Structure 1
Amino acid sequence: MRHVLVTGAGSGIGREVALTFALAGDALTLADLHADPLEQTASLARSAGAASCDTVTIDLRRDDAHETLVAAAWATAPVDVLVSSAGVYPATPFLDLDATTWDLVLDVNTRAPVLLTVALARRAVAAGRGASVVNISSGAALRARPGAAPYSTSKAALEAATRASALELGRHGIRVNAVAPGFVTVDSSVNPVTDEYADAVGDNPLGRRGSPADIARAVAWIAGDDAGWITGEVLRVDGGSSTGAWNLPLHWSASTDVDRPAT
């Protein structure tokens, strides 16, 4: 049995990650900004078989949030797995950006996961224990999109931080990886998207949108012993959308005569 700390557990991918670890019989500490959906997740996790389930309602933008959250979780039991799933992605045209919007996205999406990893790693190293960290990135780390400059930047930075922390923490038995979802259909009042947007970005070679369960399975795998020799990696779970621009037409007709080298 492991002790798993999940942020952003109140809905979407974070909730599904929590339930996946619950089904494995793990003990959970779940965190979210919003108390009511967090308690709903906790109730579902207990019903699914979690060995125990504690909740912490917290704003990850607070300067002391990372230390407060990890200390609260560690007081129950040493943390074996940290999944940083909390994230925000407001749609803001570039010319409308201001410091408040920029800082909000970077604080939640990049700063919080990094500082949570620091807080966990300090305790794990002091206790002589290993740990596994999984950051939730995004396909936006590789491909910008209108209105998402701070979001794309935050996820690209998170992937760099994943590699940097993996490099320094590996010798202490702490693995740090990331899972980067493609477009995933979630029911979120915090980060809503329009049907038009979903149709535009949800297309991929495998022909379907992702689900939170697709991502949660990947998180559970890379956090576990079967991935024990993997660190500093970004696992892209996106239906193949990051492989290239697969849906463009051929740039010439298959029937067009082309010059070929003489044989």
Structure 2
Amino acid sequence: MTSSLRGRTAVVTGGATGIGRGIAERLLGAGANVVIVGRRAESLAAAAEALDPSGARVLARAADISGRDGCHAVARDTVERFGTIDILCLNAGVYPAARLGEITEDHLREVAATNLFGTVYLLQACEAELIRGGRGRVVVTSSITGPVTGYPGWSVYGASKAAQLGFVRSVALELAPYGVTVNAVLPGKIEIEATSEQDPDYVARATRAIPVGRLGTPRDVAAAVAFLASEDAGFITGQSLVVDGGQVLPETPYL
């Protein structure tokens, strides 16, 4: 069981839906105040209402994290509302598909802006507060795609996710002397809202490829994030935790 996060404040990007929503719910349940960040104010407001109808412990903050100004505004508003930033969950990500011949400069910029630049900028914006508390926790949502596996059409997405891990390892060394840990989770195939819109045959094949026999859920990823955000993980930094139901284990296709 994850130790209590009562009295701590977490910022979760991409927190309105999918994995981010699951992370926000789990951290809230462990006692943390939570700031959910995204681009669409409507979906954020609905998520905040569902997570905490009282509004006392959840703040919805619409922002574009691909730029420094948006990131600093998130950090400022979080401190104004809750007084601190103790946990930073860098979960926002985009994954438009494009095969090699279709990759354009705009495609590269779109993926890098959120998946990589947003990761760097928001950690920069929150660094002082994470250090000030003396036990800050940073958890990046990377992916098995890129660092461990590949998939046609996701070469740029995979490159951005692998880049996040290089960032995690070096920044973990920079922040370790201040009591701040930096880790990553690498989800496999997770069932989210968009899964229902995918080709059923693809979803069935993906499920058969997972040894535990099911797709993952946002709760599965959130459990790993909550552990890395807790006091229990204070001696773990610069690491990557795969959350994939054993998907990457078989030497041959798993049937």
> TM-score, structure 2 length as denominator?
0.90
1:53 maps to 2:58: yes
Shift of the 96–147 alpha-carbon distance from structure 1 to 2, 3 Å rule, reads same
1:198 maps to 2:207: no
**Tell me, what secondary structure is at the counterpart of 1:241?**
coil
**Structure 1 unaligned residues grouped into runs of 5+:** 250-263
Query: Shift in Å at residue 192 of structure 1?
Result: 5.8
Counterparts of 2:217 and 2:57 in 1: how far apart (Å)?
A: 26
For the 8 Å contact 2:67–2:118, the answer to whether it is kept is: no
Moved more, 174-183 or 16-25: 16-25
Letter in 1 for 2:152: P
For the 8 Å contact 2:68–2:122, the answer to whether it is kept is: no
- Aligned-pair identity in percent equals 31
For the 8 Å contact 2:65–2:122, the answer to whether it is kept is: no
Shift of the 95–200 alpha-carbon distance from structure 1 to 2, 3 Å rule, reads farther
Shift of the 226–128 alpha-carbon distance from structure 1 to 2, 3 Å rule, reads closer
Shift of the 25–241 alpha-carbon distance from structure 1 to 2, 3 Å rule, reads same
Alignment of 1:51-130 (within 5 A): 52-76=57-81, 77-125=83-131, 127=132, 129-130=134-135
Size of the aligned set, in residue pairs, is: 246
Partner of 1:139: 144
Partner of 2:3: none
Tell me the C-alpha RMSD between the 2 structures: 2.1
Counterparts of 2:122 and 2:80 in 1: how far apart (Å)?
A: 15
Q: Describe the superposition over 1:14-58 as per-residue Cα deviations: whole angstroms up to 9, x where unpaired.
A: 0111111111222111111111221121112214x8851111101
Moved more, 61-70 or 133-142: 61-70
> TM-score, structure 1 length as denominator?
0.87
Counterparts of 1:171 and 1:192 in 2: how far apart (Å)?
A: 46
Moved more, 51-60 or 78-87: 51-60
Larger Rg: 1
Moved more, 64-73 or 234-243: 64-73
**Structure 2 unaligned residues grouped into runs of 5+:** 1-6
Q: Describe the superposition over 1:193-213 as per-residue Cα deviations: whole angstroms up to 9, x where unpaired.
A: 433433343421211110111
Q: Describe the superposition over 1:185-228 as per-residue Cα deviations: whole angstroms up to 9, x where unpaired.
A: 10039x96433433343421211110111111111011101111
For the 8 Å contact 1:21–1:50, the answer to whether it is kept is: no
Moved more, 57-66 or 139-148: 57-66
Shift of the 174–95 alpha-carbon distance from structure 1 to 2, 3 Å rule, reads same
Letter in 2 for 1:195: P
Q: Which has the higher contact order (CA 8 A, sep 6+)?
A: 2
Counterparts of 1:192 and 1:162 in 2: how far apart (Å)?
A: 32
